[in-house]
A and B are shown apart, each in its own frame.
Chain A
Amino acid sequence: MPSSMGPRRRAVGLAMAVAIGASLTGGAALGQGGSVVMLSTQLAPEAEAQKMRDQILGGFAGSVDFVTADPGSVLIDTVRVEAQAGSGEVSLLGGLHGELSTLGAEGLLMDLSDVVADLDVSPGLLELGKLGTDQQLYIPWMQATYVMVARRDALEHLPAGADINALTWAQVTEWGANLQAATGERLLGFPAGADGLIHRFFQGFAYPAFTGGVNTHFADASGVAMWEWLKETWQYVNPQSTTYGFMQEPLLSGEVAVAWDHTARLIEALRTSPDDFVAFPVPAGPEGRAFMPVVAGLAIPATAPDPEGAKAVIRHLLDPATQGITLQQVSFFPVVTSEVQAELDAGTQAELDAVSAQISAADALPALLPIGLADQGGAYNDVFKSALAQIIVEGGDPATVLAGLAPTLQGIFDATGAPCWSPDPPSDGPCQVGTGG
């Protein structure tokens, strides 16, 4: 037996030597500098990251190491760690408004006011990047929003006289009922799974459309009316909706025929079979055609080793030509005011048309992303998800459930001191949650 152990032990020794040697070379590779390290939660999916590296950053004169972070806490944690350690590796951040506002509130971002002069970013969006301060804490990078997509063969079941580009949410309910009557299946769909963005549906679409606000009408009569509508509509919604993250998949597989979601989470359906799907503006409620623009921004952490290099990358990414490539490659819409030229595939074109129709609708009602919630953004979203779980999944009475959740919501505003944001009227001091009749 001892003789049989010999070669095996040698093999183990060899493996160890290889492992340790490799770990040392791995460490040595760290020392290589020269490129700007960009950490981003945006364009993180593999296919998009490739396009970012090859096409969007391809025209940049310097070298950028584009590192992706999952949408959890990795981006925020990494910046915090580098700040605490007193030295950083990341020079440029790409994130959502919510992520960057958390970092901005902690004082971890540089002021970028000097870069703004070189760019022609839309002034309204630039204002968002100030996070309520007089400093430019992030520069808007690209934007997206949410639209509706339907299977073309579902259009024949539209309620009589309905215009696909000017639907109301009440007509969607009727549409769902017609579809169920014709096919026997519940064919409306919402991304209400763990990875889904259903909370944005309430914050930027349903609440503003039905109540004209969000927080100031959270539990009042108009808020309750919105939930009553959803409860009625849900009988035509595919029950699998509570597992959906990205609506493009159930649309493509035929599990649902009409869906609401983020443009980036619908594009695969429109690209894969542009003849089978139509994109159209979100429906309107009694108060208007509410929609939420989503803004991704670029920021430089206070510990950035190469802020000048990072600023050069910002200028490149916001060049109208690059913005055109970005739209063409990854279907995120430009933030610059100048005309952007791009040859688009049928899917992106369909989304662009829907988004344009949505923005320019006579009854358009833009609703902002939450502002000033700092690290309470997740807790804020959870309030809306809890309401969905308690009212729709468990069948609770909307008025009772909302009255029960209102103190939690108020607690978030009191803790952060966040004033109301549009379309709620501005408030002095923390936003006051609307309750009762």
Chain B
Amino acid sequence: MTRAHTLETPPTTPARALDGPPVPEGPPPPRRKHTWRRLGNQALWYAAAIVLALFIALPIYLIFVSAVTPEADRYTYPKAIVPSALSFENISFFLRASGVVDAFWRSCIVGIITIVLALGIGAPAGYAIARYVFRGRDAYRLVILATRAFPVVILSIPLAVLYRQVGINDSVLGVALMHTTLALPFTVLITSSVFVSIPRDLEEAAQTLGCSPAQAFRRISLPLALPGLTAAAIFTWVLSWNDVFAAAILTLRNPTLPARILSSLTQAPLHFQFAAAFVMLVPSLVVIFIIRRYLLGLWGRVVK
């Protein structure tokens, strides 16, 4: 693992203050001036961080507020920034609606199957593109992307007809296969760039120490690639969780959550729409927070 150090920031780099530009070395400038400048810089950094956080968090907060606004205040205008009371009637109405909980689990299962299939097929393909030179490699790369050149809108009807004929219409597996197809080009590209960034020397070194190629991959490349694979998994999950178009045409009585929401909420009053938006947001946030630990934690462990 010693070679891994060279991949990462060498320890000789000047230490950075967490929230500011490099701390200059050498004799410190007069103390007061230094403090003021540092404070100013810090303020700027914090301001930027706060703006960025608000950009993401504010819409989520507003959805939350609209979802928990009690019936009495529903149509007050302008809207209150802080709800007068927390009321979960909208959310519970939505969750109690026929088939919503089933659709929720269905969406989760479709997401998991899609991640497993997309990484199971996409990661080896990405590895092959990254590691091996073979005839037609560049064309292959292009062809992978070309699958996204056909809009799903055009494919949807023939696809749905085929699904019916094969008998996988209206099933979780059918939707997961469709999502896998949609996600694969990106999975392949993300994983191939991840494997490119892991030096081949590491695997070769492991092989000189007695590993088989498969073992070298499993023990050396895979752990190093895990953060990248995690990123690909997040991407796949989000794509599957958000897809409504393919799910709406491929399912009928067993819809995924977005398809279920599309069919019954596009014309529903706004407070139900916000409740549904909130219910849809939470699992995505949870998944991202769980996976995020791997994304950051593993890099940290490698560096150490």
Contact = CB atoms under 8 A, between A and B. Distances in A.
A317 B211 CA distance: 72
Nearest to A24: B173
A68 B261 CA distance: 10
A89 B170 contact: yes
Interface string A82-124: 1011110110000000000000000000000000000000000
Interface stretch (B36-44, B51-59, B183-191, B264-272): B264-272
A105 to B, nearest CB: 17
Q: Name, among A22, A69, A82, A248, the residue most crowded by chain B CB atoms within 10 Å (CB to CB).
A: A22
Contacts of A389: none
Contact of B161 (A1, A2, A18, A85): A85
A50 to B, nearest CB: 7
Interface stretch (A227-235, A251-259, A379-387): A251-259
B164 A23 contact: no
Interface in A178-225: 195
Given A81-B157, A249-B269, A23 B94 contact: no
Contacts of A84: 157, 161
Interface in B55-88: 74-77
A82 B164 contact: yes
Interface in A9-66: 12, 15-16, 18-20, 22-24, 26-27, 29-30, 37, 39, 44-47, 49-50, 53, 65
B41 to A, nearest CB: 39
B113 A23 contact: yes
A29 B251 CA distance: 13
A259 to B, nearest CB: 14
A37 B248 CA distance: 16
Given A65-B253, A81-B160, A272-B75, A22 B266 contact: no
B263 A69 contact: yes
Nearest to A268: B269
Contacts of A26: 106, 109, 171-173, 254
A395 B175 CA distance: 47
Nearest to B260: A68
A contact face: mostly helix, strand, loop, or mixed: helix
Nearest to B176: A23
A268 B253 CA distance: 29
B156 A16 contact: no
Given A81-B160, A255-B77, A53 B264 contact: no
Size category, A interface: 35 or more
Contacts of A82: 164
Given A37-B252, A85-B165, A70 B266 contact: yes
Interface string A377-420: 00000000000000000000000000000000000000000000
Interface string B111-136: 01100100000000000000000000
Question: Which interface residue of A37, A67, A80 has the most chain B CB atoms within 10 A?
Answer: A67
Given A19-B112, A30-B170, A44-B267, A77 B252 contact: no
B255 to A, nearest CB: 8
Contacts of B160: 77-78, 81, 85
A20 B254 contact: no
Contact of A253 (B75, B97, B249): B75
B112 A78 contact: no
B116 A44 contact: no
Interface string B222-246: 0100000000000000000000000
Nearest to A54: B98
B252 A87 contact: no
Contact of B263 (A19, A22, A74): A74
Contacts of A86: 165
Contact of A78 (B93, B98, B223, B252): B252
Contacts of A246: 267, 269
B105 interface: yes
B267 A39 contact: no
A23 B117 CA distance: 14
Given A70-B262, A77-B249, A90-B252, A46 B75 contact: no
A315 B246 CA distance: 35
Nearest to B75: A252
Nearest to B301: A1
Interface string B197-215: 0000000000000000000
Contacts of B170: 30, 89
A5 B252 CA distance: 40
A77 B156 contact: yes
9 contacts: A16-B116, A26-B109, A26-B254, A30-B254, A45-B267, A74-B263, A81-B157, A253-B75, A253-B77
Shortest 4 CB-CB contacts between residues of A and residues of B: A252-B75, A253-B77, A85-B164, A23-B172
Given A15-B112, A70-B263, 17 more contacts: A12-B116, A15-B116, A18-B112, A26-B172, A29-B254, A44-B266, A44-B267, A46-B94, A47-B269, A47-B272, A67-B253, A69-B263, A84-B157, A85-B164, A89-B170, A249-B75, A249-B270
